[in-house]
Amino acid sequence: MSKAFFQQVFSAFIILALVACSKQSDDAHADQNHHEYNVATQLAKFTPVEIAYDASTLSEGDQKALIKIVEASRLMNDIFLHQVYSENVALQEKIAGMDGPEMKAVQEYFTINFGPFDRLEHNKPFLDGVSAKPAGANYYPADMSKAEFNKWVADNPTDEPAFTGYFSVIRRDGDRLVAIPYSEAYKTFLTPAAKLLKEAAELTDNSSLATYLNSRADAFFSDDYYQSDMDWMDLKDHSIEVVIGPYEVYEDELFNYKAAFESFVTLVDPEDSQKLSKIGGYLNTLEQRLPIPEVHKNLNRGSESPLKVVNVVYTAGDAVAGVQTIAFNLPNDERVREAKGSKKVMLKNISQAKYEKISTPIMKRVLAEKDLSKVSFDAFFYHVLMHEMVHGIGPGKIVKDGRETTVNKELKELYSVLEEAKADVVGLYFFPYMVNEGVFDEKLGNEVFASFVGGIFRSVRFGINEAHGGANVISLNYLLEKGGILFDAASERFSVNDEEITKAVATLANELLMLQANGDYDAAVKFVNRYRVVSPELATVLAKLSDIPVDIKPIYGIEKMLSEK
């Protein structure tokens, strides 16, 4: 979009934004069946939550290191803003210059979404004059098609590693497509971020954290994140749990190839982490017990599966855009997973805030009484843990048509939604086994199915084209079809069919795992098209939830402190 075009459309955009925001806040709870798009209404779907932190448990060196890490993390916001949309910076500057309470809502919603596309409304543009978001975000030329990309790679096979790799952007150079490494494309931000991480490494008292911070800083210049991912897996006796850099591929809806920059800065909860430590020893056992043929099981992966329960201090970039995550499982590099496994990090303070502010009010409206009496935060929290465990097992590297490849590359833009569905469903599938093993108590086993079904409706409200929302609507529709979940039209409530849920979950787990194991893109398209839809039953229930916020908007205490400096 040219500067001249901005000048032509900006007046129209301001008029639209002012009109949209001028409506009273009472409109925020308008019936979804009569939904009229409104920026203030959308903003009201995010309820602010103060996220405080207590640094008193940290040594003086770690307290100083924490500040440096947060400062480096703030630069991830700048990079991600560039990654989302090519015109983001120009748009942000335009709206920042406008005053008034109406424009404040527009500015705030732009910040939440990292751009002019509403993540709760399938990336619908909420600024006039802005066209549809490119499926490839700003990782590829906006006018580049899948066919053009694939033809270039086919005609220039030596370009394939750089073109399909995680850490490059694709640009036009005359009639050519070229891959530009992240270290070059985002040098303006990565250079100061690396300096801050190096300074933090000098300040921390923990040698393993210092090693990770130094190697991650080096990776910003080399685009080789392998060693720093290995070092992150080797963190020991640390109070600060931090991951910073390019990881998830959700933003790249064209291919799911390109990684988005993000950061999680957290403090370890040692007591809860110790409680969960024994669960990590089950990783290989769970792999062996997957409901798929032996040939598809990945028994060569690393057996390490460290689990950390943490409280968030600050998040940035992809980690804070739109809906907030409650856990993560990293790294994504299959080489690291085969060597060391993966680490599951549970964000306890974020989970509690979501459960209290969002999940509980939703479940009171959508679940049958018999199931509502069973739900609990612990069942919710431990299923999320199993979800993250399952991200570390199952097909990763596969062989298709005689060539070695990965599930990610074969399933392309459908990889993320199917991987999230797999983690949900296979985690649920294994929960009774973990109860039988004595890892979880029997009470949780009685609560987990109801808690999972109740949680579906929180995630679906993120939008079914979003990976987690899409995964949940797939699970809901499949389990309804198989009779594992029931819907009562008279009460407009869902319930768990205790007689069928276990079998239905096992069947769905097998289907999702086999889609990955076979790397069958065409079959994945058919499966997703069939189940990633809003059914009449779901639409009926969602209409009753319009006055409940969709998610939280974290207000970080440490960011306030830095801003006041």
The DSSP bridge partners found for residue 266 are 241, 312
Q: List the Cα angle 394/396/399 in 5-degree steps.
A: 115
Predicted structure pTM score? 0.78
Asked if 99 and 205 sit in the same domain, the reply is: no
Is the CB of residue 280 less than 8 Å from the CB of residue 316?
no
181 belongs to a structural domain: no
Asked if 208 and 329 sit in the same domain, the reply is: yes
Asked if 222 and 355 sit in the same domain, the reply is: yes
At residue 563, the pLDDT reads 80
* In the chain, % of residues over pLDDT 90: 79
* pLDDT tens column, 387-434: 988 998 999 999 999 999 999 999 999 999 999 999 999 999 999 999
8 belongs to a structural domain: yes
At residue 302, the pLDDT reads 60
The DSSP H or E segment spanning 44 is none
Asked if 404 and 541 sit in the same domain, the reply is: yes
Is the CB of residue 255 less than 8 Å from the CB of residue 149?
yes
Q: Which domain holds residue 488?
A: 187-557
Which portions of the chain are predicted below pLDDT 50?
1-34
259 belongs to a structural domain: yes
285 in helix, strand or coil? helix
Two structure tokens written together for 73? 């993390």
* pLDDT tens column, 268-314: 999 888 877 778 788 889 999 999 999 999 887 665 678 899 999 99
347 in helix, strand or coil? strand
296 belongs to a structural domain: yes
At residue 22, the pLDDT reads 39
Kindly report whether the peptide bond that precedes residue 306 is cis, defined as omega within 30 degrees of 0.
no
Is the CB of residue 271 less than 8 Å from the CB of residue 308?
no
Per residue, the 3-state secondary structure of 371-434, as one string, reads HHCCCCHHHHHHHHHHHHHHHCCCCCEEEECCEEEEHHHHHHHHHHHHHHHHHHHHHHHHHHHH
Two structure tokens written together for 383? 């299923």
Cα–Cα dist 17/40, whole Å: 9
At residue 283, the pLDDT reads 85
Number of independent structural domains in the chain: 2
Asked if 238 and 362 sit in the same domain, the reply is: yes
- DSSP state string for 484-542: SEEEETTTTEEEE-TTTHHHHHHHHHHHHHHHHHHT-HHHHHHHHHHHSS--HHHHHHH
CATH of the domain at 423: 3.30.540.30
